[in-house]
Structure 1
């Protein structure tokens, strides 16, 4: 296990970054939503602590998932 400097979370060093990215698209999508939400709230993503970032990412994943389940009328 090593500390990922970008995410400030633990990861298994033996697993290549490219493999991690393929299995974490939801997280990447949630991170994009979290960054956008933070910017909309006037927050600087790069200065937030890891706990706050994780909370925003989880919230972003939930928002994206809810949007994908929404059926629009035709």
Structure 2
């Protein structure tokens, strides 16, 4: 399990530097979610898994942002 202070999130960092955003919170009735968007698209929408730490969901979000940017494959665990 990773700790927040130890995280390296280069893809989220680049997204934020390029006017993107991330949101983490509770979405009824889905539960806890983490969403990353650029100014035009939602790149990744993740459900936080049971017993998944915040650091771990952020690492998954960072990887999903990389997949969206590099391969054009968007991750949607909310509407699936």
- TM-score > 0.5 by shorter chain: no
**Which has more helix, going by share of residues?**
1
Larger Rg: 1
Q: TM-score, normalised by structure 2?
A: 0.35
Q: TM-score, normalised by structure 1?
A: 0.37
